[in-house]
Amino acid sequence: MSAAESPKIDDAQAGGDRAAMARALYRFRQSALSIVGAAIVLMLLALVVVAPWIAPHPEHAAGGFAMGARFAPPSAQAWFGTNELGQDVLSLVLIGGRVSLLSGVAVVLAATLVGTLVGATAGYAGGLIDDALMRFTDLWLTLPGLILAMALAAALGPGVANMIFAIAVAWWPGYARLVRGETLARREDAYVQAARALGAGPLRIVGRHILPNIVSPIIVKMSLDVGFAILTVASLGFVGIGVKPPTPEWGSLLSNARGYLPDFWWTAIFPGLAIFLAVFGFNLLGDGLRDVLDPRARR
Amino acid sequence: MALVEIENLHLAIRAFEGEAQVLAGVDLAIERGEIWGLVGETGCGKSLTGLSISRLVSSPPARYPKGAIRFDGRDILAADEAEMRKLRGRRIGMIFQDPTTNLNPAFRVGEQMIDVALHAARVDASVLGLDAKASARARRAAARALAVRLLERVGVARAAERVDDYPHQFSGGMRQRVLIAMALIGKPDLLIADEPTTALDVSVQAQILKLLHELAREQGLAILLITHNLGVVAQIASHVAVMYAGRVVERGAARAVLKAPAHPYTQALIASLPRAGAARGSLVGIPGVVPNLFSPPAGCRFAPRCPLAVARCGEAPPLEAAGAAREVACWRAERAA
Amino acid sequence: MSALLQLERVSKTYRGGGPFSRGAEVTALDEVSFAVPRGACFGVVGESGSGKTTLTRLMLALEAPTAGRVLFDGEDVAALAGAALKRFRRRAQIVFQDPYASLDPRMRVRDIVAEGMAIHRDALKLGARAQTERVVELLSIVGLGAQHLHRYPHEFSGGQRQRICIARALAVEPELVILDEPTSALDVSVQAQVLALFETLKQKLNLTYVFISHDLGVVRYVCDRVAVIHRGRIVEEAETPALFDAPRSEHARELIAAMPDPDPDRSPFRL
């Protein structure tokens, strides 16, 4: 391979963090699709952040309606049309995106936190602790995730926080498995052995040597997962056990609209498109990040 | 005409930092039956030279701005991929450092060899000794027989049984033998062996070298042995080419180059080896570092580290004869020798 | 001369399988004994699978032997715990084979070399600033400089990385340094430099080395005394010249015969 023969950058050329960042960006730019993914994700995030200010009818997202303007098709006044209550679909999708994206990200963060804790402990401790934690994780994995999340969400009652908690509870085992596997692999690395020989304790080894070296696969999995988490949030919304009405959310918007298909297609197509774009964007981004961060692709 | 002729080969690879001039004047001519040791240190371009002969350097990001490679008179740099695939399966065999990763663990070694044989037979039916109209069944049987015969040839005991074993059932040295057998299927004229014994223990290394030596002597196989290990080269190579920073700096008969090196780099390299009787602390290595190939020094690339460098070394020295059996690229070679 | 490190009939067996299965036992080391006097460079030579790696782990108390004792300065290292174990970690250090794998890719040179000082802060009594000064001093001892403090490992060549590994090991002021194939990933011109560095450091810092290698040429060059290990057993131990001139064991003879000599006239294949 050419990589094995590639010359070492010597003192004159190396430049620490800035060079490393520039190099990562260079690799990222090599893949057009990852740029598209990053653009979609950034655009969606920007849109939902400023949603209350750019939405033509922010009051509709808070439950306001205008019965006089029911089922208006997309037009210059209402780009995405209006729904059965005369609410502006564009405003609902924009502001609903806040809940959808926020919950998607929050679910993944919570799951990563728990999964990393369990996985790193199991992977580094090994032996009986590993066996016990991983059998527990496996047990959890045998429960169908979506059904578990639905049952929990239904039991806890509606609300964004409850929904995030319910989905995260079903989501962490994947991270536990990933982190345990990566920890096991890194635990045998020579630099970890060197740290042990220097007398470093388990906290130092896991915190300073193992975790920083496994963030890449975790970040890749996270960015791929945000898409699925958004989908799951939407699914709960679709079956009516997600957020409390009138708070709009892409899944519940879609669910609501299904009774008006196919005549009033715009009520369904735009929330659906939003979900599709978000999932697609995060997946492309995740694939792109994998190319940049995956150590096998790096050498 | 030599079997392989490489003339003034240049290779540039584009990377984030710019374009690295990784090969900048490789000259080599290999005849049938010769074993050429291509030696040099990490990053000198020896592996890329080997890969270039079978056009396995992906371009882009690589390109060949100058020079030529001819295999049996054919212009390799102008050949298309279909043509190269025929050469690779048939007339050029390759083996690499790690015998583990080059075998598919999921298939029996016999299956893998039969695949290669059937592929080679599509290019040249004579590989299996059958005419083109033979049935699939007959071809398969012939391929299997060939696999057993070649495993025997490379010294795998009970080859007829072991052909049905999986790679993990072979030791490291035996796996390298299997890979050599696989490389021999198309009755190649040239075998490119890139660090074939580096991953093996010395006792096993000696056996593999013996096998390569026999293949060259008995079948007239030309071998390009790429290695950083001068000891390995001294054992079996008939000729040696020494590379530094993308250039062949010295080449010739193994005895001439290794016993009385003419280039200051070759001299320093040989002087770095811990030999019998060397007093502790007497080896100094080569001071300085290899040049940055993104902006290599003009002229002789070794000059910045060379104890004999003079002003004239700012101009690249040509590879010229120094004595009967060797050529060297150094302005100061006569005095250095 | 007293022995700094002494192995007394050390054996190690591994059992395959997990807690619920009982696999076959594998004997990695079988009654290995030798003594390394202070100030010596003691070589251990063996091929892959001979037990060298296990031996290293036992000498560093990263694992406990199944039978026998590893004595460091008269104390059984497997019995050390708490403060005594921490003290041992400071006194015995290691330099690994692969300088590409043995440096944490996410840490800067300063933090890599200073890590031991941070761990052994109580014993070495160095604050953050004093640590940095000491790192600079160590870097200059191994032939690097202050300009490298804030670089990452990937910015260095193999030889430079091995120098960083050496500085890291020296940071805790060890008495014993185990050199585990320290030059086998390096080019010969760099190997010569690193071997010269080992020799200088040994004189300057009164170090004792255990040099583990499969390369007999290197071992002959740097070691006073050599043990040949084969399938977990020491098959021969002798002063270096005696071993190479008149090997007594079959295995040592084979190894020496298979050494690739860089002199073409001594090749077994030429006429």
Q: pLDDT tens across C172-191, in order?
A: 999 999 999 999 888 898 89
pLDDT of C22:
59
* In the predicted structure, residue C21 carries a pLDDT above the cut 70: no
Least confident interval from B166-175, C20-29, C97-106, C243-252? C20-29
| Least confident span in A142-146, B208-212, C130-134 | A142-146
| C-alpha distances in Å from residue B53, one per residue of B72, B75, B319, C200 | 12, 10, 20, 45
Segment A22-26 mean pLDDT = 72
Report yes or no on A89 lying in a domain.
Answer: yes
Q: Which residues of C touch B237 (CB under 8 A)?
A: 264
C contact test, residue of A5, A188, A198, A206 with most C CBs within 10 A: A198
| pLDDT value at C43 more than 60 | yes
Per-residue pLDDT averaged across B147-151, rounded?
93
- Looking at domain B1-91+189-274+284-294, its CATH superfamily turns out to be P-loop containing nucleotide triphosphate hydrolases (3.40.50.300)
CA within 13 Å, CB half, C47: 20
- Residue A1 banded pLDDT, cuts 50, 70, 90: very low
Q: What does B82-129 look like in DSSP terms, one character per residue? A: HHHHHHHHHTEEEE-S-TTTTS-TTS-HHHHHHHHHHHHHHH-GGGGT
Question: Any CB–CB contact under 8 A between C72 and chain A?
Answer: no
Look at A17 and A135; give whichever has higher pLDDT: A135
What distance in Å separates residue B238's CA from the closest CA in chain C? 9
Q: What is the DSSP string of B294-318?
A: TSPPSS-TTGGG-TT--GGGGSPPP
**C-alpha span between B323 and B331 (Å, rounded):** 15
Confidence (pLDDT) at A19:
65
Instruction: State the chains in contact with A (3 or more Cβ–Cβ pairs under 8 Å).
Output: B, C
Q: Which long-range contacts (CB under 8 A, 24 or more apart) does C196-204 make?
A: C196/B281, C196/B283, C196/B284, C196/B285, C197/C142, C197/C143, C197/C163, C197/C166, C198/C166, C198/C222, C199/B280, C199/B281, C200/B281, C201/C141, C201/C142, C201/C166, C201/C170, C202/C39, C202/C41, C204/C141
> pLDDT per residue over A266-279, tens digit each?
888 898 999 999 99
The answer to whether position A26 is within a domain reads no
Question: Among A241-245, B71-75, C209-213, which stretch is predicted with the lowest mean pLDDT?
Answer: A241-245
Whether residue B3 has pLDDT greater than 60: yes
In chain B, what residues touch C192 (CB-CB under 8 Å)?
272, 274, 283-286
Asked if pLDDT for residue C266 goes beyond 90, the answer is no
Minimal C-alpha gap between B35 and chain C (Å): 12
- Who contacts A7 (Cβ-Cβ below 8 Å, separation ≥6)? B20, B22, B43, B290, B292, B293, B294
CATH number where A209 lies: 1.10.3720.10
The candidate with the shortest Cα–Cα distance to C26, out of C16, C36, C17, C35, is C16
User: Looking at CA atoms only, how far is residue A56 from chain C in angstroms?
Assistant: 48
Lowest mean per-residue pLDDT among A70-74, A91-95, C3-7:
A70-74
pLDDT digits (tens, 9 = 90+) for B223-263: 999 999 999 999 999 999 999 999 999 999 999 999 999 99
Which of B272, B333, B283, B273 is closest to B308 using CA atoms?
Answer: B333
> What per-residue confidence (pLDDT) applies to A227?
84
Mean pLDDT of chain B: 90
Residue B189 to residues B34, B141, B192, Cα–Cα distance (Å):
11, 25, 10
* Mean pLDDT score, B190-207: 88
pTM: 0.80
**So what's the pLDDT on residue B135?**
85
Residue A141, pLDDT above cutoff 90: no
- Environment class of B287 (CB within 10 Å of its CB; exposed 0-12, middle 13-18, buried 19+): exposed
Instruction: Indicate if the pLDDT at residue A84 is higher than 90.
Output: no
- Identity of the amino acid at B37: G
CA distance C175 to A139: 50
Return the SS3 of C87: helix
Inter-chain touch B17–A12, beta carbons under 8 Å: no
Which chain A positions have a beta carbon within 8 Å of C119's beta carbon? 198-200, 204
pLDDT tier for residue C77 given thresholds of 50, 70 and 90? very high
Contact B333, B249 (CB under 8 A): no
Give the number of domains in chain A: 1
* More confident: A189 or C219: C219
Q: What is the pLDDT of residue A17?
A: 59
Q: Collapsing DSSP states into helix, strand and coil, what is residue B328?
A: strand
Q: Residue A268's domain spans which residues?
A: 85-298
CB contact under 8 A, C189 and B232: no
What are C22's two structure tokens?
A: 């009982």
- Which among C157, C189, C217 is the nearest to B274, CB-wise? C217
The mean per-residue pLDDT over the stretch B46-67 comes to 91
Higher pLDDT, A235 or C109: C109
Average model confidence (pLDDT) for chain C?
A: 90
Per-residue pLDDT at C18: 53
B-chain residues near A27 (CB < 8 A)? 16
To the nearest whole Å, the CA of B293 is away from the closest chain A CA by 6
Residue-level pLDDT at C202: 94
Confidence band of A6 (pLDDT split at 50, 70, 90): very low
For C89, the closest of A20, A197, A209 (CB atoms) is A197
DSSP characters over B177-212 = HHHHHHHHTT--SEEEEESTTTTS-HHHHHHHHHHH
CATH 3.40.50.300 region(s) of chain B? 1-91+189-274+284-294
Q: How far apart are CA B94 and CA B192, in angstroms?
A: 5
What residues form DSSP beta bridges with B93? B191
Q: To the nearest whole angstrom, how far is the Cα of A36 from the nearest Cα of chain C?
A: 29
The 10s digit of each residue's pLDDT in C241-256 is 999 999 999 999 999 9
> How high is the pLDDT of residue A183?
94
Residues of C whose CB is below 8 A from A14: 151, 155
pLDDT band at A4 (very low <50, low <70, confident <90, very high): very low
Please determine, for residue B37, whether its predicted confidence score (pLDDT) is greater than 80.
Answer: yes
**Mean pLDDT calculated for residue range A154-168:** 88
Q: What is the CA radius of gyration of chain B?
A: 21
Provide the token pair at C163.
């120098």
Residue C165 at interface with chain A, using a CB cutoff of 8 Å: yes
Q: What is the pLDDT of residue C16?
A: 64
Given this model, what pLDDT does residue A150 score? 87
Domain membership of residue A18 (yes or no) is no
Residue of A nearest to C145 (CA): A11
